[in-house]
Structure 1
Amino acid sequence: MKVLAAMSGGVDSAVAAARAHEAGQEVTGVHLALSRNPASYRSGARGCCTIEDSNDARRAADVIGIPFYVWDLSERFHADVVEDFVEEYAAGRTPNPCLRCNEKIKFAAVLDRALALGFDAVATGHYAQLVDGPAGSELHRSVDEGKDQSYVLGVLSAEQVARAVFPLGGSRKSEVRVEARERGLAVADKPDSHDICFISDGDTGGWLAERLAERELAHAGAIVDETGERLGDHEGSYRFTVGQRRGLRIGTPAPDGKPRYVLDIEPVSGTVTVGPRDSLAVSSLSAGRPVWCGAAPTGSSLEGTVQLRAHGAEHRASVTWGTDALAVSFHEPAEGVAPGQAVVVYDGSRVVGSATITATAR
C-alpha cells in the first residue's frame, strides 16, 4: 500500500511515518507549508508552521529512509482555516481551528492530492484508532486517554476514515517518545505544539482585533447582566467566549459576590451577557451539518455520549438526527456550550459522527 505520511516536524508524526514504513508500506513523507511567511505564524517549538519544523520533518524522513517533499498549502489554509476562524468570531461563535484544519486541509486537500498521485491512504500522528467494523472502518478513541484526539477527527467522513492510517492509536505518548529515541529521531524530546498555530504570540484577542478592525467588524458594545442592566463596556465581542470568567473587566461586583461568566454573545449589537455559573447549565442543543465518521447509524436516535471540546469531558446524552440537523438532550446539564463548537457523538469508544452547534437551551 502506498501511504503519504503527513509530517509536521514533531515526534508523533515522525514515529507514525516510521511505523508505517516498518510495516512494509511504501511511505512518502510530506510537510505542509501553511504560511508563505512562516514568521507570521507561531515560532519555535510551539507550533507546526515554521521553517524549523519543516527542517525537523526532513531530518526525520532521512533517518527513516523515505522520500520527502514540502507541499505549499498556504492559500488553502488561509482561506479555509484562518479566514473561517475570523468569520466565526465575528459572528459571535467559538470555532476550533485544529478541527477545521483536519477537515479542510489534512483530510480534504491533502487526501485529494494524494489519491490523484496514486497513493492509497494518508497517515498522521493523531492519537486515535481505526477498527474494522461490520460496515467498514470505524474511528475509535486512542488507548491513551490523556492524548486522545478522536474529537478533532470527528469531522471526517466515512470515505476519509477509510483512507486514513493512525499508527499511534494503540500507544501512549511516553512510549512514543522512547521509541523515537531508540530510532535515533532528533525530535524525540521536542515539546508538543499547543495553542493556535497561526497566532504567533498566543494573543488571540489582539490578533483578532487587528483583522476585524481592518474589515470594520470590530464593534464595541455593552456588558449586561441577565436583566439587561449595563455593567460595563468592551472593545469587541470577539474577545469573549461562552463560559469565560477571567478578563471581563466589570467594575460592579455581583450582588452575591460570586464570579460572573459569559452566558451569551450577540455580535450585531455587540452585547455580551454575563451571569452566575448556574446560568451556564445547558440541557439541550441543536446542531447542523452532521457528518458520519463511518457507516451512517441506523434509525434516527442513539443513547450514547457526546464531547464538546478537544479535551473536555464526555456527557451522557440522547441524540436524534435528521438529514441536515442533529439534536442532543443531556442526561445531566453541561456548562460552557457555545455555538460554533463541534459536538462529537460517541457510542462507547467509537466516534459516530459530529455536527456544528447552532443553538443551546437552558
Structure 2
Amino acid sequence: MKVLAAMSGGVDSAVAAARAVEAGHDVVGVHLALSRMPGTLRTGSRGCCTIEDSSDAWRACETLGIPFYVWDFSSRFKEDVVDDFIAEYAAGRTPNPCMRCNEKIKFEALLDKALALGFDAVCTGHYAELIESEDGTRQLHRAADWAKDQSYVLGVLTEEQLRHCLFPLGRTPSKDAVRAEAAERGLSVAKKPDSHDICFIPDGDTRGWLAEQIEMRSGPIVDPDGAQIGEHDGAEAYTVGQRRGLKLGRPAADGKPRFVLEIRPKENTVVAGPKELLEIDRITGIRLSWAGAPVPQASTGEPFDIDLQIRAHADPVPARAWVPLDPQSPAEEAELIVELGAPLRGVAPGQTAVMYQGTRVLGQATIDTARSRDYQAAGALD
C-alpha cells in the first residue's frame, strides 16, 4: 500500500512512520508548513509546527530511508483554523483549534491531496485504533493507553476518511514504550518533549494574542440577576468557567468566588456567578458528524445511550442523546440533543462534544447551547 506519513517532527509520528515501513508499505514522509513565519523557533516544549520540527521530521525520514517533502498549507491553515479561532471567540464561543486542524487540514486538505496523488492512506502518530466491523465499515476506537488516547480529537473524521487512515500506535501500551522504540530505531526525537498549547500562540498567552486580533471594548460584568458587579476590558477574551482576571468590584454576599457563566458578545456583557451555576445538564450540538456508520436511531429520532466527552483529556459522563427529525432541514444541518446523566461543569458554546459507546467513537457535534436548570430557574437564560 502506498502511504503518506504525516511527520510532525515529534516522536509519535516518527515511530508511526517506522512501523508503516516495517509493515511493508511504500512510505513517503511529509511535513506540513502551517506558519508563514519560517524563523519561528520552539519555546520550551510548546507548539508543534516550528522550523525545528521540520528539521526533526527530515532527520527521522533520513533515518528511516524514506523520501521527505514539505507541503505549504499555511494559507489553508490560516483560513480554516486561525481565522476560525478568531471568529469563534468574537462570537462569544470557545473553539478547539486542534480539532479544527484535524478536520480541515490533516484529514481533509492533506488526505484529499494524498488521494489525488495516488496514495492509499495517510499515516499519523495519533493514539487511536481503527477496527473493521462485520459489515466492512471502519470504526474509530480509543487507544489501548487511555492516558494518551487521542480519539477525542479524531471524532470529526467521517467514515470515508477513516477508510484511508492508519494509526499504527493505537495498540501501544504507553508513551514510554514509543520512546523506547524510537531510541532502539536510532531516531533522534526519542527524548523530544511533547508539544502542548496552541501552535500559533507559542507563548501560551491566548488572551493577549486575541487582543491583537479583535477590537476589544470595555463593558459590564453582571450577576445572574443583571446587577453590575464589575467591568471587563473585552468580553471576547473570556471563556465560560473562567475565574481569574474578572476584576470584580463587588464581593459576593457569601464571600465565595465567582466564575464566568455566559458571554453575551452582542451586548458586550460577561455574566458571572457562583460555581454551582456552571453545572450543565443539557447540551444542543450543531455541525453533527458520524465517525463511521451512524447509529440506527439517528434516522428515527429515538434516543440512544452514550458517554459524552467535552475535552481532550476529560472523563466521559453517561448521557442520553437523540437527533430531532426535521423534514424541512437537510441532513448536514441536523442537531444533536444531549441530556446528561451527571452534570458537567464549565461547558462553553464552541467546544466539541464527542460521543462514545464503550471504546467506540460514534461522532461529534459542536456545542451550540449548554443549559443549567439552576441557571434557567434564576431567569438568566431562555
TM-score category (smaller protein): over 0.9
Distance verdict in 2 for CA 1:248–1:318, change over 3 Å: same
For the pair 1:259 / 2:230, whether they are aligned, the reply is: no
- 1:140 aligned partner: 141
TM-score relative to the length of structure 1: 0.97
Match of 1:139, as an amino acid? L
Structure 2: gaps (5+ residues): 325-330, 373-382
Question: Following the alignment from structure 1 to structure 2, what is the Cα–Cα distance between the partners of residues 22 and 28?
Answer: 13
CA distance in 1, matches of 2:288, 2:367: 10
Report 1:301-320 matches (<5 A). 301-320=303-322
**Do structure 1's residue 276 and structure 2's residue 274 form an aligned pair?**
yes
Please give the residue correspondences for 1:24-173 in structure 2 after superposition, counting only pairs within 5 Å: 24-39=24-39, 43=43, 45-135=45-135, 136-171=137-172, 172-173=174-175
The structural deviation recorded for 1:40 is: 5.6
Give the aligned residue type for 2:239.
T
Query: Normalization by structure 2: what TM-score?
Result: 0.92
Deviations 1:46-75 (A, max 9, x none): 212211110000000000111110000000
Cα pair 2:155 2:364 within 8 Å, conserved: yes
Q: CA–CA distance in 2 between the matches of 1:303 and 1:250?
A: 41
After superposition, give the CA deviation of every residue in 1:255-297 in whole Å (9 maximum; x if it has no partner).
1111111100001111100111110111111111110000111
Q: Counterpart of 2:357 in structure 1: which amino acid?
A: D
Q: Do 1:42 and 1:198's aligned partners in 2 also have CA atoms closer than 8 Å?
A: no
Determine if the alignment matches structure 1 residue 12 to structure 2 residue 12.
Answer: yes
Q: Which residue of 1 aligns with 2:285?
A: 287
Distance in 2 (CA, whole Å) between partners of 1:326 and 1:115 is: 31
> For residue 195 of structure 1, what is the aligned residue in structure 2?
197
Please give the root-mean-square deviation of Cα atoms over the aligned residues, in Å. Answer: 1.2
Secondary structure of the structure 1 residue equivalent to 2:200: coil
| Cα offset, 1:44, TM superposition | 5.4
Q: 2:341 aligns with which of 331, 339, 345?
A: 331
Task: Name the SS of the counterpart of 2:82 in structure 1.
Answer: helix
**Contact 2:220–2:270 (CA under 8 A) maintained in structure 1:** yes
Deviates more, 1:111-120 or 1:275-284: 275-284
- The answer (yes or no) to whether the contact 2:221–2:230 under 8 Å persists in 1 is yes
CA contact (8 A) 2:45 2:196 kept: no
Q: Distance in 2 between matches of 1:106 and 1:139?
A: 16
Task: Tell me the amino acid that sits aligned with residue 140 of structure 1.
Answer: H
Amino acid corresponding to residue 252 of structure 1 in structure 2: R
1:346 paired to 2:347? no
Give the aligned residue type for 2:337: A
Q: Is the 8 A contact 2:308 2:355 kept in 1?
A: yes
CA distance in structure 1 between the aligned counterparts of 2:44 and 2:5, rounded to whole angstroms: 23
Q: CA deviation at 1:38?
A: 3.5
The answer for unaligned runs of 5 or more in structure 1 is none
How many Å separate the matches in 1 of 2:148 and 2:116? 32
Is the contact made by 1:307 and 1:344 (CA closer than 8 Å) also made in structure 2?
yes
Alpha-carbon displacement from aligned partner over 1:177-200 (angstroms, at most 9, x marks no partner): 110111111100100000000012
| Amino acid in the other structure paired with 2:348 | A
What is the percentage of aligned positions where both structures have the same residue?
59
User: Aligned partners of 1:252, 1:143: CA distance in 2, in Å?
Assistant: 49
